Amino acid sequence: MKVQLFADEPYQQSFTDYFSSIETIELVTDSPDLVLGLTFLDPDRKRAYLSKFESEVPIVSNTLTLSATTAQTLVRSGKVVGMPVLPYYFARQSSIEISLPASAATVPLVVTEFLSLAGKTAERIDDTVAGVFPRTLAMIVNEAAFAVQESVASPEDIDTAMKLGTNYPKGPLAWCDEIGAAAIVAILDALAREYSPERYRPAALLRRYAETGTKWIPV
């Protein structure tokens, strides 16, 4: 399958390496069977990109900060399928959330085939900003960041408590380090715009870490 990939610059190489490693997927710059629009960090820039895009093939649009319905209203042609794709984590997921714009009823066959080639199964969800898992994870990370900010506990102690107390495979702040604080803040900001500014307000310390690229758990 020929796939055209667009991603934010910090994550472009990671996504390129992953999809290039799948023998049945070929990354191309024109005449694709499917377009992967995985950008999300700057919703305004994503809107501008989508509004200029013309393609007769389906477009998988990253819904971490912009819903599939909004993306569909922006593109000049082509069907949009929403998918909340977390950087540095998509490769390890076996089940992927997908959503359709309000005007759509079925998932294009090429999208289902693409996920199958990548070894993923699709789980249909309602069209929402950030999906289910990324939204939940971003909120958990934010609460952990508030706890550190307010000197409740150290990042290491918080991660240890969450792993032992909830059987998480990884602590929320280690998860944040893996995905990137900038991605978590982008998700929270998008949720704040969509729903409630106060409920999804990022901790000041989390935003500072996003701006500086600081890690919670030193390697």
- Structure tokens given for 183: 């991605």
Q: Which helix (H) or strand (E) holds 79?
A: none
Q: Where are the beta strands (DSSP E) in 2-109?
A: 2-6, 26-27, 34-37, 59-62, 80-83, 95-98
Rounded Cα distance between 71 and 55, Å, is 13
pLDDT of the residue at 49: 87
Rounded Cα distance between 2 and 117, Å, is 12
Same domain, 113 and 166: no
Closest to 88 (Cα-Cα) out of 11, 172, 195? 11
Same domain, 69 and 146: no
Closest to 190 (Cα-Cα) out of 15, 33, 41? 41
The reported pTM is 0.94
Closest to 110 (Cα-Cα) out of 4, 219, 217, 216? 4
Q: Are 149 and 205 in contact (CB under 8 A)?
A: yes
Crossing angle between the packed helical segments 204-212 and 133-149, to the nearest 10 degrees: 100
**pLDDT, tens digit (0-9, with 9 covering 90-100), for 146-200:** 999 999 999 999 999 999 998 888 899 999 999 999 999 999 999 999 998 999 9
Same domain, 99 and 154: no
How many domains are contained in the chain? 2
Closest to 34 (Cα-Cα) out of 104, 115, 101? 115
Q: Among 99, 124, 149, which residue terminates a domain?
A: 124
Same domain, 24 and 89: yes
pLDDT of the residue at 44: 93
pLDDT of the residue at 191: 97
CATH number, position 19: 3.40.50.720
Rounded Cα distance between 158 and 151, Å, is 11
Crossing angle between the packed helical segments 133-149 and 155-166, to the nearest 10 degrees: 130
Q: Which helix (H) or strand (E) holds 121?
A: strand 121-124
Q: Among 71, 104, 124, which residue terminates a domain?
A: 124
Rounded Cα distance between 21 and 18, Å, is 5
CATH number, position 147: 1.10.1040.50
Supply the range of the domain harboring residue 170. 133-212
pLDDT in tens, the chain (219 residues): 999 999 999 999 999 999 999 999 999 999 999 999 999 999 999 999 899 888 889 999 999 999 999 999 999 888 999 999 999 999 999 999 999 999 899 999 999 999 999 999 999 999 999 999 999 999 999 999 999 999 999 999 999 999 999 888 889 999 999 999 999 999 999 999 999 899 999 999 999 999 999 999 987
